[in-house]
Amino acid sequence: MPDKDAQTPRVFLIRHGETEWSKSGQYTGKADIPLTPHGEDQIKASGRIVYGNGKLIDPAKVAKVWVSPRKRAITTYQLLAGTREGYEVTECLAEWDYGDYEGIKTHEIQAKRHDRGLDKDRKWDIWRDGCEGGESPTQVAARIDELISQIRDLQGPLMKTSGQPKDVVLVAHGHLTRAFAKRWLGYDLSFPLSLMMEPGGVGILSYQHSSIDEPALLLGIGFPMQQ
Average pLDDT over residues 147-170: 96
- Which are the contacts of 208, defined by CB distance < 8 A and separation ≥ 6? 214, 215, 216
Q: Is 40 annotated as a binding residue?
A: no
173-200: pLDDT as tens digits: 999 999 999 999 999 999 999 999 999 9
Under the banding of pLDDT at 50, 70 and 90, the label for residue 3 is very low
Q: Are strands 11-15 and 62-67 parallel, antiparallel or unpaired?
A: unpaired
Q: Is 21 annotated as a binding residue?
A: no
40, exposed or middle or buried, with CB in 10 Å at 0-12, 13-18, 19+? Answer: middle
Signed CA dihedral, 96, 34, 74, 80: sign only? negative
Q: Is 220 annotated as a binding residue?
A: no
Check if the beta carbon of residue 184 is closer than 8 Å to that of residue 215: yes
User: Would you kindly state where each structural domain of the chain is located, as residue ranges?
Assistant: 11-217
70-111: pLDDT as tens digits: 999 999 999 999 999 999 999 999 999 999 999 999 999 999
149, exposed or middle or buried, with CB in 10 Å at 0-12, 13-18, 19+? Answer: exposed
Q: Which of 18, 95, 135, 175 is catalytic?
A: 95
Distance CA 87, CA 73 (A): 11
The hierarchical CATH code for the domain 11-217 is 3.40.50.1240
Q: Is 95 annotated as a binding residue?
A: yes
Q: Is the pLDDT of residue 5 over 80?
A: no
Dmax (CA) of the chain = 63
95 is catalytic: yes
For residue 20, the SS3 value is helix
Closest CA to 211 of 130, 163, 155: 155
Q: Please name the residue ranges forming H helices in the chain.
A: 20-24, 37-50, 71-81, 106-115, 126-129, 137-155, 174-184
Tell me, what amino acid is at 170?
A: L
24-73: pLDDT as tens digits: 999 999 999 999 999 999 999 999 999 999 999 999 999 999 999 999 99
pTM of the model: 0.94
Q: Is 87 annotated as a binding residue?
A: no
For residue 2, what pLDDT is reported?
A: 40
Q: Is 108 annotated as a binding residue?
A: no
User: What are the CA-CA distances from residue 60 to residues 41, 207, 212 (Å)?
Assistant: 24, 20, 22
Q: Is 29 annotated as a binding residue?
A: yes
For residue 24, what pLDDT is reported?
A: 97
Average pLDDT over residues 199-223: 92
Distance CA 194, CA 200 (A): 19
Q: Is the pLDDT of residue 225 over 80?
A: no
> Taking phi first (over 0 means left), then psi (-120 to 50 degrees means alpha), and beta for anything else, what does residue 180 get?
alpha
